């Protein structure tokens, strides 16, 4: 069995910092979404999809340097906070790995961003060489492409995969790929009902993860 971990909000506690930075960059462009509103509308989507949604809302293109500006805010906030791993996740990963399960990461984020966030929180070495990004496939989450790409690369059939996700598009992508989805809802922004409706089995604490994966 292969256990596929989403990155943001499952391995690293990036969502509050990233959404505050995105909200700040959008406000400078005249789109007045609070960090909470930004989270609700955009969490789990690829940057490309986020930009498309914001441009549709604004009725115009964002400036060429928008992503650069937003990412500068985001990376600075990761350094300043500093960014933390999700509580209990490192122990959960080690338990799952020591029980002989294969593991990998599949994220909407870029490879550079994952190197930064997983490196900063000491998780990079646990997945080195098995980290897949939406930038490697035509369509991001909620489409199944990324999870299918990860399974194929790891030489595992989709029905033999379980995905750990915290966002609705991520759970939808896992289910569309024919995989089981465990939906982590331990963070304050989690929408339990939406995660469940999307087909996720909701859990609240990373301490529960080995039990859910290894049974």
Q: How far is the CB of 170 from Mg ion (least distance, A)?
A: 5
Q: How far apart are CA 42 and CA 79, in angstroms?
A: 23
Q: Which one, 5 or 33, has the nearer CB to Mg ion?
A: 5
Q: Name the residue number minimizing CB distance to Mg ion.
A: 9
**In whole angstroms, what is the distance from residue 186 CA to residue 9 CA?**
9
Residue carrying the six token digits 């963070």: 187
Please, what is the minimum distance in Å from the beta carbon of residue 198 to Mg ion?
A: 13
User: Whose Cβ is closer to Mg ion: residue 25's or residue 86's?
Assistant: 86
As a whole number of angstroms, the distance between CA 163 and CA 171 comes to 8
Applying CB under 5 A, which residues contact Mg ion? 6, 8-9, 166-167
**Based on CB atoms, which residue is closest to Mg ion, 29 or 208?**
208
Q: Token digits for 19?
A: 């959404």
Do residues 106 and 4 lie in contact, with contact meaning Cβ atoms separated by under 8 Å?
yes
Among 178, 179, 150, 147, smallest CA distance to 162 is for: 179
Tell me whether residue 64 or residue 121 sits nearer to Mg ion (CB atom): 121
For residue 3, give the 3-state DSSP assignment. strand
CA dist., res. 20 & res. 77, Å (int): 9
Report d(CA 136, CA 163) in Å as an integer: 18
CB 132 within 8 A of CB 104: yes
CB of 9 to Mg ion, least distance (A): 4
Q: Which is nearer to Mg ion, 42 or 213 (CB)?
A: 42
């Amino acid at each position: 069995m292969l256990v596929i971990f989403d990155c943001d909000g499952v391995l690293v506690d990036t969502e509050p910092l990233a959404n505050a930075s995105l909200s700040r960059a959008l406000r400078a462009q005249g789109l007045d979404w609070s960090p909470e509103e930004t989270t609700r509308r955009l969490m789990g989507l690829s940057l490309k999809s986020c930009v498309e949604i914001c441009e549709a809302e604004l009725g115009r293109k964002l400036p060429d340097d928008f992503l650069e500006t937003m990412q500068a805010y985001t990376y600075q906030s990761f350094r300043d906070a500093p960014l933390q791993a999700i509580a209990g996740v490192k122990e959960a990963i080690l338990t799952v790995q020591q029980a002989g399960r294969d593991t990998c990461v599949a994220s909407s984020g870029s490879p550079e961003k994952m190197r930064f966030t997983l490196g900063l929180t000491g998780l990079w070495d646990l997945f080195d060489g098995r980290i897949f990004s939406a930038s490697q496939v035509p369509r991001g989450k909620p489409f199944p492409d990324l999870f299918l790409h990860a399974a194929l690369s790891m030489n595992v059939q989709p029905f033999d995969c379980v995905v750990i996700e915290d966002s609705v598009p991520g759970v939808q992508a896992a289910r569309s790929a024919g995989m089981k989805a465990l939906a982590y809802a331990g963070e304050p922004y989690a929408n339990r009902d939406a995660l469940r409706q999307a087909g996720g089995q909701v859990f609240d604490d990373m301490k529960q993860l080995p039990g859910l994966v290894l049974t």
